[in-house]
Structure 1
């Protein structure tokens, strides 16, 4: 099986430049590489590492409103992030792609062969520029390898996001029209990956323009929303992908994240690994370690938005705030048990409740990317493939674009959001559009949204795509970045301190919480039971709310500036020193 993210050590592709004018090094002639179809194919493998690396593909939501972690990212700590510390203004990947596109012109090769590989290159150029626009907004558009003589471009101003987005759409249209592959083992780009990326990019831009009035681009938002809907529909009606249902409601979604080979009926692009080639990831280590990873813990406000199995909001229950962990996990959308450790979850043949001894702060411990065998926990030994694009996202892109346009109908709902909920065992509300606003969802997350349809599409997106790297960008495009600072990092309900608690009701005590002003719990605690200090001198980061819910990091405030600067990253100061024509992003 081809593995696009394995260590592709091809000397002719060792492009390490960070500036727009540095020349790529090569040890073979261009004719050797660009004069044959096999050479073009080999060269094209170098593009894949530009998307993400195998080491971080499962860490996409490392910074999100719904993830409590052991150390705050500097980006949301007052005064800790600046143009002097900013990164990401790197152009080596683009130069590599542009070099290929310009030089892929050998007359001995057919136009269809050349256009196929140029299409792949333009797909990756579009992805590169999409990431740059999301991070920095306006950026220079460069579609050829630059030399020292290109001073006007090298030292010019940034181009507007309007131009960049038009060019991205052109690249993706060319890629869709010319990439020959219609299927793969999940690790290679196909024409459906290209049109799928178009739906993602267009949805981002359409909603960003709609909600960021300060850009003065709201009048063009619907243009991109329609492009998103049309691109997604193309995948839905003509493509080979569908929702994976092979394992039933209890495992069909999680199977996509723990399988060694990409589950290609739904997964459109993935990072794959191989123990035979000693190319593995460390997902288990990152998600289960007390010291290596961030001890990432989902928070109660997010968990509360996961529906009951009958399709009603969990927060409609009169006593939802005082339900203990076992009770709150009962009769919920099956994705809850595929996302976090819930009662009944087992590892290595034994029950495995949330690990308060050395991992979770809130009680909601993720399992989406972790293998159930604990032998994977202590190093980089995982071989499970990590999806980067899947059909579920396409359905959500379609539903959201149509909802924002005001054209989503019952049929659209049933084949998108309804289908995702049915896949997860939800029995109600899957056939017709919602007509009632969930006041908890609205008040907690989206106070500016008055449409029950848009609210429910956003609920579905945050549940279905949780931990897959979309959340921070979603908050930015919806202009809800303040959730990064304001969403309470609260956890499970604790009925009382100094009480032995059996979290999963398996007959074994799991944890006791006690007053951190005391040296130890005020009761006798059996050996091996997690003892968690609440507040006081022992643990001022692990506290408890007035309603007896765990709360993490309240003592260290998170910051989202009122001037909105964090919707874009600052241009690194050293880049502006090199090119004073690069104006800084607002308020940085």
Structure 2
């Protein structure tokens, strides 16, 4: 089988001013279609217009499904991987630029008037795509295979765009051709039912998979591998959403996921593994050029003079951190060689931070800063303002963390030293690891995940980090015993959480599994007993919140059911436990912006959200 050796790069392609596209064609009548007789003749015409589709899809000021490290340096902290993760149970933040995400997680967000931070109600990209699909066949002198390759790109992006819209809003207007002045009824019509939209999404991605070639066919262009990876994501998302939200008809999408994964598994991709379990996972997220790594199917390209970012700088100077709930999901390898959840482990201890990171899945110390690792020198010792203590919490000098768990997944000191808007390491949009995890989960949901499936999926990922293998009948983690799923599915979901954190997937995973109630739980951080406040290393830099003696840097703690005390990340804030909520009749979908409803009352609103303005059309 021929191995796909190219990688599919989304960079800052030159914006092509070829057509005047209306910024919100569902709200206003569009004008100036690109349909003159002189265009749509040559391959250069198709390529130039398709490049404009790439560009628009990569516009992270509007769209949030292909972000990477964001398309501009400052916005990496506003809607980058850390803030988006704070919508979930993996991460907490009190940085002013990211508290919109804390509000979503706490169930206290307000209906936006325009585009919210987590999504978009912009249709410019869709219009570009539909104009292309309406016109590309006019290049009649080109071989059909050439025309189809560019059409495959357009269909890929239409499928991804609509997946993103359905994930956020459920029913959305389904538009498959460019609208003009004669289409007012469609332009101002109601939303299309979710199942009809997702049928079109599956049709689009299937066609894209058949049109796009498996090998490289042009510099930086999509290929079949990327389309199959998107198909797998679409199939798993919609199949499980339908199952756990009792919508029915889930098998078609779960089987679509399985078929896409099986085809990809025969295309030559492989998990990056050099035999260094304490570093190989990190390499995926700190490599300058992901074109050198065959696990990466599709990625955002950054380079000097083209597009740069600032993810490392913002890894350090934002008040946020991983949650105890997430950290507890990293398995502990006991002295008998068995990997167990912390609740079942014979040897797990969190008496000190050093012990908490001992004998854990190596991905823990490659996701969060462990005491004594190499990143500590960059984070603490190199910083002249930092106190030499771990962890730094509250408002201590030297880039403290909200929870005690400092994120480091994307951090590399060499990039940080480049300065603002100068970092250039790439971001993986689709990895083969996700394909393997999706395959295992879809097979388990279909009741056909046996040891052979685990050995070519989950256990390949565990081999990379030197973790013991998963078997089909693992002991049930007490933490998940009341969730109504098998212990095998618990472990597959755990593996996905650990492997794919900070990759824009966890929030939608919770939504599709109908696990929204997890967002109501108290958000805790690292263990912090009363004696720790008196530790001379802190030299009075932190005080216990809620006491008469609390000084200018209070850190609040909570005594948990295990009798131990943990940082209470959101205590005394708008996102505190007593203010958190999750309404299953409302919060699995986001609110449609009031500005959109005011221009088209037939859009309606998602259940439980205000309808907004009542202006007449």
- Shorter-chain TM range is 0.7 to 0.9
Q: Judging changes above 3 Å, is the alpha-carbon distance between structure 1 residues 95 and 488 closer, same or farther for their aligned structure 2 residues?
A: same
Alignment of 1:85-484 (within 5 A): 87=116, 88-105=120-137, 106-183=139-216, 188-213=221-246, 217-218=247-248, 220-236=249-265, 238-246=266-274, 248-262=276-290, 263-277=292-306, 279-289=307-317, 293=318, 295-309=319-333, 310=337, 311-317=339-345, 320=348, 322-347=350-375, 352=380, 354-356=391-393, 357=396, 358-373=399-414, 375-376=416-417, 378-426=419-467, 428-430=468-470, 432-440=471-479, 442=480, 447-484=482-519
Name the residue aligned to 1:527.
Answer: none
Q: Choose from 32, 39, 43 the match for 1:37.
A: 43
1:315 is paired with a residue whose SS is coil
1:373 is paired with a residue whose SS is helix
> How does the TM-score come out when normalised to structure 1?
0.86
2:601 is paired with a residue whose SS is coil
Q: Choose from 9, 12, 16 the match for 1:6.
A: 12
Is it true that 1:561 corresponds to 2:582 in the alignment? yes
CA distance in 1, matches of 2:519, 2:208: 36
Deviation, structure 1 residue 348 = 8.9
Deviation, structure 1 residue 3 = 5.3
Q: Judging changes above 3 Å, is the alpha-carbon distance between structure 1 residues 47 and 511 closer, same or farther for their aligned structure 2 residues?
A: farther
For structure 2, the 5+ residue unaligned runs are 1-6, 58-65, 381-389, 610-617
Q: Does 151-160 or 306-315 show the bigger shift? A: 306-315
Q: Judging changes above 3 Å, is the alpha-carbon distance between structure 1 residues 332 and 370 closer, same or farther for their aligned structure 2 residues?
A: same
CA distance in 2, matches of 1:205, 1:284: 34
Alignment of 1:41-60 (within 5 A): 41-49=47-55, 50=57, 51-52=66-67, 53-55=70-72, 56=76, 58-59=81-82, 60=84
The C-alpha deviation readout for 1:402-455, integer Å capped at 9, x for no partner, is 1111110000011111111111110x234x313321113x05xxx323301110
Q: Judging changes above 3 Å, is the alpha-carbon distance between structure 1 residues 232 and 2 closer, same or farther for their aligned structure 2 residues?
A: closer
Deviation, structure 1 residue 141 = 1.0
2:531 is paired with a residue whose SS is coil
For structure 1, the 5+ residue unaligned runs are 503-508, 521-535
2:355 is paired with a residue whose SS is helix
Q: Judging changes above 3 Å, is the alpha-carbon distance between structure 1 residues 3 and 86 closer, same or farther for their aligned structure 2 residues?
A: closer
The C-alpha deviation readout for 1:377-412, integer Å capped at 9, x for no partner, is 852221110111100000011011111111100000
Contact 1:540 1:555 in 2 (8 A): no
Is it true that 1:19 corresponds to 2:35 in the alignment? no
Contact 1:86 1:569 in 2 (8 A): no
Q: Judging changes above 3 Å, is the alpha-carbon distance between structure 1 residues 577 and 390 closer, same or farther for their aligned structure 2 residues?
A: same
1:387 is paired with a residue whose SS is strand
CA distance in 1, matches of 2:476, 2:217: 42
CA distance in 2, matches of 1:350, 1:375: 9
1:496 is paired with a residue whose SS is helix
CA distance in 2, matches of 1:178, 1:554: 53
Deviation, structure 1 residue 319 = 7.1
1:567 is paired with a residue whose SS is coil
CA distance in 2, matches of 1:166, 1:330: 48
Name the residue aligned to 1:69.
Answer: 93
